[in-house]
Structure formats: C-alpha cells, structure tokens
Structure 1
C-alpha cells in the first residue's frame, strides 16, 4: 500500500512539474522557457488574436526576463514572437494583407523607408498557411530570423525593421489591443 502511494505521489509530482514547464492558451501548449541561439528566453505573455469574434492565432512573446512595458520590450535586443495558427480561416493572402497593414500602422503609414525589408519579409507567407503552423520571429537586436514550423525562411539585418515588426503587436497601434496586453503579461 505504501509503495502504491509513493508511486502515485511521484507520478502526480512529475506531471505537475511537466505542467509547470508549459502554459496552455486555447488548445495551444507553449513552453515557458525556450533556448534561441544559446540564449534562454521566457514566456512573457500570450493570448488569442481575435477578429470579428473569431479566434485566429495564439500570439506569444518571449524575452530574457519579464517585461510589462511595450517600449522596453521594443528596445530589448533578444526577443521572439510566436504565432500558432488555430483557424482555417487564415490564408497566405490574409496573412500578407494583415502583416502589410500591421507595418503601415507600426510606421504611421510611411513604409517607404523599410519597403525593401518589408517585401523580403512578406515572402514568409508565400506558402499556404494551415491550422497548426507555427511562425517565429526572433531577433538578437540587429538581425531578425523568420521561421515557419522550425524552418528559417528569411532573415533581415536591420535593427529599425525589427522594432517596426514587433511594433505590429506591441506598438501604439497594435493588431489587437487585448493580445498586446496579454503578451505584456497584463
């Protein structure tokens, strides 16, 4: 009886420890800590991007240590935004249009100074987008890598571009104010 109790206790504690390593948003399980290019980043916050009452994707922000101020996040060198697609309503065309609109909002309508970088980045969405796809935008300050399902699709070496890209979700005119707040851990 004691052996069964201890076995059960160890199983419960192991399961609890495993759960403590992840956070679930909707049906998406996010790691609380990730290692990117040898650096540890922790989940700062995450939420569901909704539009017209439809859940589209889970957006999550990873930084070296918790930050609740958007401007501080934008000036932090190492960070990652992850988008986990949860809706079949998202297509490559809709992602392209949404990201272009996000750049316009992040740059107050004047995308000309970074148009070359924006065009290069938009190519990330050239293949069809499906439920379960994971996009990651990772920067070390100057260079940004864009990945889809773990495969690097493009990189952009421009610090200002990185701030503008992360501004799509964390800037003054974010794609979704509730998602911004959730990503900032509020």
Structure 2
C-alpha cells in the first residue's frame, strides 16, 4: 500500500536538510582537522592570542636517545604560509612534556645549546636576557606545557598558561627559536616535523 503524498513529503523535507547538514559538517576542515595529536597530546590547528590568529605549521615528537621527551607544535601568524622561525614574524612553539624535568636542567641545556650554535659575538648579545630567562624556568611533570611565543614585539615564556618571562628583543627571540628550529637544532627530524617538511 502506497503512502499518501502529503504524509511522505514532510518526512523527506526533514531528512534532506539534516543529511545535508551532516555532510557539510563532515566535510568542514574545522571538524576534520581542528587539532592534531602527537603521542596522545593534542594541539589545535588554529590558536588566537592577544588579538592575533596563529596557524599550525607542523607538529612532532622529540626523542633523545631512547627517551620520547616531548611533543611539540609550531605556529605562525595567519597568512604567513612559509616557515619563518627566525624572522620577525609572530610565532609560537608549544612543548608538552612526557617526563619530569628540573628547572636547572632546562637552564643548563638552553645555555649549552645556544653556546654551541651561536657565534661568540651573537651569544654575548643575548647573554643578559638569557641569564634572566634561566632564572625563571620551573620544574615540569608529565602533562605540563611550555609555550615560547613572539608577537612581533615581545618574547614570552609561559608554563601551563602562566607567563614566567617577557623580553622585547627580536634577536633573543630568534636565538631561542633556533634551539629547535635553526640550522643546527636539537633534532633535525623534530625541526622538520615542526616546519611541516615531513
């Protein structure tokens, strides 16, 4: 027995818009790729901070010897589609830790890496802000996140959203970002993943 047309049509009218809405949501990049995951740590594709909008360039996991140390994500100001980690472009690097690390270890590693990668003149130029930053590090436990950001005017270091250090120096900002994203980074594979080269 056929269904009366006046009963059938309202159901179709209800079903079709719902189906179209679901298809639209499934095809939306915000649903498909609103975040990425690295070893269980999630990083958003787009971040807004202080009126600026940052877009994820790449993410990855840093391994040291047999240890999976931390996951990271690198962002640049929206519209800056080419990686420019050592320029004056607004950018941010977020690191999520898998192991406990003491503040003194951060300070020691930061200073050693910069001494190894910068010329003596370059290191002397950033030695004072580096000494201040090294005093502001804190211990981390698994799940903690450090954020290093440059908004075009100020370098900022934050732990779990709490700002620990600020400095108005583009040179120091580039030096700090070079630790992970420079020509001689802590890990080339990690750098390339952050820059979206993998």
**Number of matched pairs:** 180
Aligned-residue offset at 1:103:
1.8
Contact kept in structure 1, 2:155 and 2:173, CA below 8 Å: yes
Q: Contact between 1:59 and 1:183, CA under 8 Å: does it hold in 2?
A: yes
Partner Cα distance (2:120, 2:32) in 1:
43
Distance in 2, Cα, partners of 1:100 & 1:134: 20
Q: Take 1:19 and 1:87, find their aligned partners in 2: how far apart are those partners?
A: 30
- How far residue 66 of structure 1 moved from its aligned partner, in angstroms, is 2.9
Which one of 177, 182, 185 corresponds to residue 193 of structure 2? 182
Aligned residues of 1:105 and 1:174 also touching (Cα < 8 A) = no
1:43 to 52, 56, 60: 56
Alignment partner, residue 80 of structure 1: 92
Q: Does residue 161 of structure 2 align to residue 150 of structure 1?
A: yes
Which has the higher relative contact order, 1 or 2, with Cα contacts under 8 A spaced 6 or more apart? 1
1:57 matches 2:95: no
Q: Secondary structure at the match of 1:66?
A: coil
SS in 2 for 1:117: helix
Q: Work out which of the residue numbers 151, 171, 179 in structure 1 matches 2:182.
A: 171
- Give every structure 1 segment of 4 or more consecutive aligned residues whose post-TM-superposition deviation is greater than 6 Å: none
Runs (5+) with no aligned partner, structure 2: 1-11
1:113 aligns with 2:125: yes
Q: Which structure: larger Rg?
A: 2
Q: RMSD in angstroms over aligned alpha carbons? A: 2.6
Name the structure 1 match of 2:7. Answer: none
Deviations, residues 76-108 of structure 1 (Å, cap 9, x unaligned) = 4200011111123x3323222221222223313
Say whether the 8 Å CA contact 2:95–2:146 is kept in structure 1: yes
State whether residues 44 and 56 of structure 2, in contact with CA within 8 Å, keep that contact through their aligned partners in structure 1: yes
TM-score, length-normalised on structure 2?
0.79
Residues 117 and 184 of structure 2 are in contact (CA less than 8 Å); yes or no, is this contact kept in structure 1? yes
